[in-house]
Each structure stands twice: as structure tokens, then as C-alpha cells.
Structure 1
Amino acid sequence: MFELNSSVDIQLPKPAEVVTLPSDMSCHDHGYAQIVIGLKGQSEFEINGYGNRVGPGQGCVVSAGANHAFGGLADQTDILVLNLPVPSVDESVVLQQIYDLSKSEVYFHIDERLNQIIRLLSQEMALFPEDTLLSKACHDTLVTMLFRHMTRNVSVIKESRFDLAVIDNYIESNLSRRITIAQLAGSVFLGESQFHCRFKELLGMTPHQYVLQKRIEAARSLIDQGGYTLGQVAELTGFSGQSTFSHVFTRLQGMSPSVYKKRIQ
């Protein structure tokens, strides 16, 4: 399973496994590195005394021997764990480089294309948890793909992690869905209260107001393009219904979406 009894015991569990985290924090260390990827819900990790959140589309590298605590923050929090064998002289260069990378205790984001692959493989492993060949095949595939991704997109721990470009990308990628402050905070590895205060301090508005603004900007773009009913625009931009969309659009734009649509036609 996910935990070993001692940091000197380097006998590996399965190469790759889907784990449901308990809500209470657990703590351990082990003599091998791990890549942890969020699948469902939000988890909190603390590696060598430094904490961050990991949710879907995010991950972290736990270095060998690093004391780390972890726990789920939702009713069900699932993660994918890739357990990395200690590299030998005969091991691949990729594995050795990931071990070198893990010394920085890094957190990283995963793009949507790779995240789709991770979800599909994780679903297979969840269906067949005892299939060791499947576990090994998924491990080898994902370790290779993740290494290429991580060397381009890794985010080393630093004091200021507020990155508006990352936040905007998360909003744009999830515009048709409900977006919570916890999800936005998790996209830049910040706690909710810290994220909320920092956001308002830098942008002069709340995260909720900012998301609404982004939804309306996208709605205007869709109306400008033509070919969509107002109901379709509301759905594509994440509003619960056309009446809610119309109310917010009117409040922020000073006119209803139907009036705006007539003006540009």
C-alpha cells in the first residue's frame, strides 16, 4: 500500500496505484521517491515541513527519505501514486533525473491532454487493482510522459505563488463548470483564505467577481461570433440557466444579452 514502516525499507509496493486518502493527516517517510497526482477532491501535502494542496490536474514529487504528511480535504479524495525504484547504474536516465528533480520537492501542474491520459489509466487500475502487469505498464508509461511534462512545467516552491496566468488558464479550461474558490486556490497551491486575501489585494475584486467577469467576457465573444442561442451561451459559460445569465449580464454590461445581440447584428 501507500505507506512503508521505515525509511530504510526500500521494498516497493505496486509500481502504480489509485489510493483513497483518509480525512485525517497521516505521516511517514520511505527510502524511495514518489510522484503523486490528484484525481478527485483536494488533498493536502506537507513535505519536509512545507505544505501545499494537490487536486485534479496537479501533482508533487516526494523525494526519497522526505518526511511527509498527507490527508484528504473532501468526502472522497483519490490520488494516483507512482512509486519509483531507486535508480541503479543500469536504470534509465529518466528515472535518475526524476530522482534528482525530487530533491527540490516540487509541485507541478498537468495540462489537459496528459490529464485525460492519466484519468483513463487510473480508471483501468481502479477496475483491476490486483493486476500487477497493468500497474507496471501504467507506471512506465506515465513516468516517461510526466518527466517530459515536469521538466517543462515544474513549479519550484517559492514565497509568492500567485500566478494570474495559471488562474486564468484554469478558469478558461473549466468555464462551463462550477468553479469554487478552493479550486482556484489549489491551482496555484494556496490555501483558500490566503488566496482570497491575496487576490483581492492585487486585483481589487473577489475571486467570485473575477470569475463572473470572465464568464461574461466569454459570453460576449460567443454572441459576437454568432450561431449560438442565448441558452447555449449561458450553458457554455457556466451559468445555471438563461435567467441567471441574463441577470448577471445585464448587471455587468448595462444591457440584457438579447439587447446586446440585437446591437451587433
Structure 2
Amino acid sequence: MWTIGASRVQSLDAQPHRHHHHHHQVVLGLHGEVWFELPPRQQQRFGPGHGCLLPGNCEHSFHGDSDNAVVIIDVSSHDGSNHLIDAGLFDQLFAQPRFIDLDDNLITLVRSLAHELSQRPHDVQLQQHVSGLLLHSLFHRVAPYQDPQQSAAGRIDLALLDQLIANRLTEKLSVEELANACHMSSSQFHLRFRQLTGMTPYQYILQQRVQQAAWLLQNSSMTIGAVAAETGFANQSALNHAIKARFNMSPGQLRQQS
């Protein structure tokens, strides 16, 4: 069983930090912007309406930009609390490090609960109730429960898919090929994949390409055109558009940050 820990509103320092912790953690943008890097080579600057899920022992980097605030929820494996949730929920919710998008209802909920936390910062019971409510709300959006008998027939192995995508980064990879790797029909795979990751297979593949491109821009001397070709973009313009959409800066500006 996993224990819901305290939730808190916190500002992240502008000084970059890199660490890991044994407990799971949820970070949700409240105002301003923060930057996180998650394995494998996932980077994103986010603010309100976005966040990230950090499994235990996941090494990650982060810093905040000027005035910022996030809601942080810790989830530990220590017993002895009345605020417990079945381990299966957390196994799905924290299956991998990932960035998440919040819908309008959840954004409103986060803001309201963050206000309550700010008004009563030392109320431990309130913190635990807020944590439980937000975790359940997140779970039902990004990791819906699957019946064990159904999931046994076809399970999405993201590590396997990540490797397949990495091996075929410069090629077209169809949903049917991804579904076959998971022994599912294309329609079944598309539905379960979206439930698990919160995005379509196409969006996920694009994310992997953008992440690899960002890593090459910051860790190699390859030209921007060469990086585009290496990561499966049709041309440099397509890469520019994808990098701008994800990081709100050009490939050249992203490279200067390395």
C-alpha cells in the first residue's frame, strides 16, 4: 500500500537542481512557469494547466522562472496512515515519468485547493485530504482502471514501445505496427494508449522525436538540419515548428541554453 503524504504550495528556485527521492511525487503548475527534465530526455517548461508525474527514484532536474508556484504531492510507501489508496492505482498513475495536461475542471479544482492550502499551511489533515482528492482526480483522467482479466490479454509496455520508436525514429511508424507489438487491434490499442498516456500514438511519437531532437541540439555539434533528419522531421522548418510548440523557443535558442 502507498500512503498519501502532504500536499503543499511551493515556489521553485531559479537555481537548477537535480535529484531523486524514494517517494512518488506529483507537481502541478499553479502560476508562473517552471522547467523540468525527466528521463528519458523529456524536457518541458510548464505553468498552470500542466504538470508532471515523478515515480520514486526517478532522477530529474528542475528550476523555476521568476515568480512561480506549484502544488506538490508526495506519496510514500510508509504504512501507518489512515489515508491509504490501493497500490494498483499508483502502479498505473506512476508507471513512468511523464508530463500531463489538466482539463479546465481540474485546473479550477487545483486553484481552489491551493488557495485552501495557502490559508491553512500547517493543517496536516487538510493537506492529506487535498492530496487524496487530487490524486483520485488525476488517476481517473490519465490512468483509468483496467480490469485485470482484460489487461492480461493485451498490455501496453511503454518501455517496449519507446525502444521501437527510438529504433525507427527516422521512419514512418504506423499505429498498426505499435498495436501489433502489444498484441492488440489498432482500435483497442488507440483507446488504451490514450487512456494510459493522455495523448494519441501520433502525438506520443512526435513527443519522442522532439525530445531526442532537443537532446541532440544541446549535446551535439550537429547542424539543425542534420538534427531534423536524424529525428524523422521532414525538414528543418518542421523541426523549428515542433521545438517552438514544445519549448516556446527556436532550436538555436534551445541550443544556447545547454
**2:250 matched to 1:193?**
yes
The answer for unaligned runs of 5 or more in structure 2 is: 144-194, 209-241
Counterpart among 94, 98, 102 of residue 106 in structure 1? 98
Give me the whole-angstrom Cα distance separating, in 2, the residues matched to 1:147 and 1:187: 30
**2:138 matched to 1:92?**
no
- TM-score by structure 1 length? 0.53
The corresponding residue for 2:68 is: 77
Query: Number of matched residues?
Result: 162
**2:27 matched to 1:36?**
yes
Residue 195 (structure 1) shift:
11
Residue 124 (structure 1) shift:
1.0
The corresponding residue for 2:147 is: none
Give me the whole-angstrom Cα distance separating, in 2, the residues matched to 1:82 and 1:111: 18
- Give secondary structure in 1 for the equivalent of 2:133: helix
Counterpart among 197, 208, 211 of residue 154 in structure 1? 197
**Higher Rg of the two aligned structures:** 1
Counterpart among 11, 29, 35 of residue 20 in structure 1? 11
Q: List per-residue Cα deviations over 1:204-263 (Å, max 9, x = no partner).
A: xxxxxxxxxxxxxxxxxxxxxxxxxxxxxxxxxxxxxxxxxxxxxxxxxxxxxxxxxxxx
1:186 to 1:150, Cα distance in 2 relative to 1, 3 A = farther
1:188 to 1:62, Cα distance in 2 relative to 1, 3 A = farther
C-alpha RMSD over aligned residues: 3.5
The corresponding residue for 1:63 is: 55
Residue 194 (structure 1) shift:
4.7
**2:143 matched to 1:145?**
no
Query: Comparing both chains, which one has the higher relative contact order based on Cα–Cα distances under 8 Å and sequence gaps of 6 or more?
Result: 2
- Give secondary structure in 1 for the equivalent of 2:136: helix
Q: List per-residue Cα deviations over 1:125-156 (Å, max 9, x = no partner).
A: 01221111110110111111111012247347
The corresponding residue for 1:121 is: 113
Q: Confirm or deny: 8 A CA contact 2:5 2:76 kept in the other structure.
A: no
Residue 100 (structure 1) shift:
3.6
Q: Confirm or deny: 8 A CA contact 2:29 2:69 kept in the other structure.
A: yes
Q: Confirm or deny: 8 A CA contact 1:54 1:60 kept in the other structure.
A: no
Aligned-residue sequence identity (percent) comes to 21
